[in-house]
């Protein structure tokens, strides 16, 4: 066992002395040492209930014959960080989490890992760390939140952005807004729709890194507690079987995850995260693969933010095993932490509600949720959630309004300065320029709330929340800070968007683009000290997952 490095031999007497100080016994030295990475915190709704799940994990590890050792990792709530300086740190924290997993597991020679996680950057960060280490690991995503209720209607977190816009327009009172915000999030769990947190939980299950049912089982449920216990017990078997992370996170598993992502119509942020996970797993992957798979994968669920369904509906309809069952013919064989091949999990899956999880013959859309656009505005690619775009906006042409930050764009939208036919361009918000590639949920929500969702497009080198809907195109690569074409777009230019043909074009001549680029000068970094300044120097393009440079 890896842990023998710190517990075997005469020269390890000092190490054993320190281990005894933690309360373990001499008999425990014969057992596998299991690191339990937990992202528990009192400020993130998706994590506040993790103390109870930690107990079930510990009990499971003990039942399986292992010794659990808990340690913490950072957890940032994208919703609380949204719309201010805090959002710069969200994506950047993903690399910190992966590094923390590596540091703790290597320094203490853990034989295996149990990863208790939830929410946007934490889950991919933990998967990246496990893939980098390539030791046995199992993931428990802590589950989605139940729906809120107000005046007999279901509410979700994303409704509060719409309510804020309606209040600013005078459509609802301050008291009504307060009622919405008081009832939208009734308790622990990741936000109720198919936003980034829940999309990543579903894809973790689809890749085989969590037990069947884990991705959709609600945060406050006996089922989630049972999954936590069984995951803890299962890790010792993975160690005995020598089933390490990269044996599960294969090229086949990555492609299966992309298939499920497109079938669900998940968040565009998964493109960043799957690229980053694949890199740590030593799997070659490009953005083009997402588009290739999208064209062959029908969109079979219709969940928030664009559709009416909640995660609780998907769970009750059969969860990810049900989705896998529907698309089983396209799946590739791959092992999972359950000990079953993913094709067996798919075969055993059942669809209990054919409206929530449709058949491939009767999909919501014939293509998957994600489309990759290219053109002279985005030579390396851009990402759009096409399943959340209104049909009349799939092909769009408009005049540009350029903004150098999210705040300036939001201000213009709220003040009514954006009118029908506009293409709002927000730049200098990419991985380097942001830094941290902030999510643009405020401007997209105000566009929707002010009735412009079928009249205005939004384009950015930043990214979007999984709660975004409408014609919102992100991840423009290269970004403005790197001198990509988005850097030289001017007010009054015309941009053409053609999602069916995957085109994104700035309608000026190639010669004019070259002339503008020759005159362009990189702007001053927005943040010049601390972690974000270091992050900006090290991070790569969104087209490669916004990972750190290798050198």
Distance (Å, whole) CA 69 – CA 233? 14
Residue 449 near residue 410 (C-beta atoms within 8 A): no
Q: Do residues 359 and 265 touch, judged by C-beta distance below 8 A?
A: no
Please compute the mean of the pLDDT values over residues 467-471 and round it to a whole number: 89
> Is residue 268 a contact partner of residue 150, using CB atoms and an 8 Å limit?
no
The mean pLDDT of the chain is: 97
pLDDT, average across residues 361-365: 98
Region 49-70: what's the mean pLDDT?
98
Residues 6 or more apart from 338 whose CB is under 8 A from it?
A: 208, 211, 212, 234, 345
pLDDT at 116 over 80: yes
7-16 pLDDT, tens per residue? 999 999 999 9
C-beta separation of 133 from 115 below 8 A: no
Across the range 277-299, mean pLDDT stands at: 98
Bridge pairing between strands 33-38 and 153-155: unpaired
Percent of the chain with pLDDT over 90: 95
Helical H runs in 356-450?
Answer: 406-414, 441-449
Segment holding 292, helix H or strand E: helix 287-294
Which H helix or E strand runs over 383?
A: strand 378-385
pLDDT at 473 over 90: yes
Three-state DSSP class for residue 346 = helix
Q: What is the Cα–Cα distance from 279 to 260, expressed in whole angstroms?
A: 20
- Does pLDDT of 168 surpass 90? no
Q: Is residue 162 scored above 90 in pLDDT?
A: no
Q: What's the pLDDT score for residue 42? A: 98
**Does residue 551 surpass a pLDDT of 80?**
no
pLDDT, mean of residues 5-30: 98
> In degrees rounded to 5, what are phi and psi of residue 299?
-90, 110
pTM for the model stands at 0.97
**Residues with active-site annotation:** 465
Distance, in Å, from the CA atom of 113 to the CA atom of 68, rounded to the nearest integer, reads 9
pLDDT of residue 468: 86
pLDDT in tens, 494-544: 999 999 999 999 999 999 999 999 999 999 999 999 999 999 999 999 999
- Spatial contact of 320 and 327, defined as CB atoms under 8 Å apart: no
Per-residue pLDDT, 450 = 87
Question: Which among 144, 145, 156, 158 has a CA at the least distance from the CA of 205?
Answer: 144
How far is the C-alpha of 372 from the C-alpha of 289, rounded, in Å? 9
Q: How confident is the model at residue 169 (pLDDT cuts 50, 70, 90)?
A: confident
The pLDDT of residue 445: 87
The pLDDT of residue 464 is above 80: yes
The pLDDT assigned to 39 comes to 98
């Amino acid at each position: 066992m890896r842990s023998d490095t710190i517990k075997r031999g005469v020269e390890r007497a000092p190490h054993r002395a320190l281990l005894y100080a933690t309360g373990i016994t001499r008999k425990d030295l014969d057992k596998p040492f299991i690191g339990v990475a937990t992202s528990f915190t009192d400020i993130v709704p998706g994590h506040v209930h993790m103390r109870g799940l930690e107990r079930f994990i510990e009990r499971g590890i003990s039942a399986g014959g292992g010794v659990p050792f808990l340690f913490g990792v950072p957890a940032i709530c994208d919703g609380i960080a949204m719309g201010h300086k805090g959002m710069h740190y969200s994506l950047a924290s993903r690399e910190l989490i992966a590094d923390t997993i590596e540091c703790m597991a290597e320094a203490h020679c853990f034989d295996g890992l149990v990863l208790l996680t939830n929410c946007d950057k934490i889950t991919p960060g933990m998967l990246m760390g496990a893939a980098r280490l390539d030791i046995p690991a199992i993931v428990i995503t802590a589950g989605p939140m139940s729906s809120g209720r107000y005046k007999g209607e279901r509410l979700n977190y994303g409704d509060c952005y719409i309510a804020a816009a309606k209040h600013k327009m005078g459509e609802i009172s301050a008291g009504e807004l307060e009622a919405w915000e008081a009832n939208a999030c009734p308790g622990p769990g990741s936000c109720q729709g198919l936003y980034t947190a829940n999309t990543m939980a579903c894809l973790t299950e689809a890749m085989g890194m969590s037990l069947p049912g884990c991705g959709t089982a609600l945060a406050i449920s006996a089922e989630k507690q049972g999954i936590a216990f069984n995951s803890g017990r299962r890790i010792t078997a993975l160690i005995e079987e020598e089933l390490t992370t990269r044996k599960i996170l294969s090229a086949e598993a990555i492609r299966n995850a992309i298939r499920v992502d497109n079938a669900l119509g998940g968040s565009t942020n998964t493109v960043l995260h799957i690229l980053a996970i694949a890199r740590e797993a030593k799997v070659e992957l490009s953005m083009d693969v997402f588009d290739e798979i999208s064209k062959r994968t029908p969109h079979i669920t219709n969940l928030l933010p664009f559709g009416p369904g909640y995660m609780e509906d998907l769970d009750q309809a059969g969860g990810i095993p049900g989705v896998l069952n529907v698309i089983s013919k396209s799946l590739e064989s791959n092992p999972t932490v359950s000990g079953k091949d993913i094709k067996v999990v798919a075969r055993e899956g059942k669809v209990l509600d054919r409206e929530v999880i449709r058949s491939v013959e009767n999909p919501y859309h014939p293509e998957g949720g994600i489309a990759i656009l290219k053109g002279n505005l985005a030579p390396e690619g851009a990402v759009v959630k096409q399943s959340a775009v209104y049909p009349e906006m799939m092909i769009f042409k408009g005049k540009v309004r350029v903004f150098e930050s999210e705040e300036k764009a939001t201000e213009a939208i709220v003040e009514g300065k954006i009118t029908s036919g506009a293409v709002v361009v927000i730049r200098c918000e990419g991985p380097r320029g942001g830094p941290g590639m902030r999510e643009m949920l405020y401007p997209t929500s105000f566009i929707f709330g002010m009735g412009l969702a079928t009249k205005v497009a939004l384009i950015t080198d930043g990214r979007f929340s999984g709660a975004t809907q409408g014609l919102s195109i992100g991840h423009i690569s290269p970004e403005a800070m790197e001198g990509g074409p988005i850097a030289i777009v001017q007010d009054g230019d015309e941009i053409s968007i053609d999602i069916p043909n995957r085109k994104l074009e700035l309608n000026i001549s190639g010669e004019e683009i070259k002339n503008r680029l020759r005159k362009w000068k990189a702007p001053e970094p927005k943040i010049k000290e601390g972690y974000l300044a270091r992050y900006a120097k090290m991070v790569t393009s969104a087209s490669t997952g916004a990972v750190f440079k290798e050198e």
